[in-house]
Amino acid sequence: MVWLGGPRRRSVRGLSGGIFLNDPPPGYHPPQSTMPLKDRQRIARQNWILEHILAVILIISATAVLVIILVIIATHL
């Protein structure tokens, strides 16, 4: 049986979540984790830090654009 996706936890009523196939599609190979756990955790941590830095940069950029628009509107009145 092949799990394709959906919630990993069972619902309150005991119904299974996710999509399962009884027979895998042709050429399907289950994913194999060849990378050690420490390396996967390090990469996940780097990605988390990068996402937060980019979120801060996006917020600052959006604020700067908003301020520029407000200044342009205020000077034309």
- What tens digit of pLDDT does each residue of 43-65 get? 999 999 999 999 999 999 999 99
Amino acid code (one letter) for 34? T
Tokens of residue 3, six digits: 């799990």
Q: Express each pLDDT in 4-34 by its tens digit.
A: 665 556 555 555 566 677 777 788 777 777 8
pTM: predicted TM-score of the whole model, two decimal places:
0.54
CB atoms within 10 A of CB 24: 12
Q: What is the DSSP letter of 38?
A: H
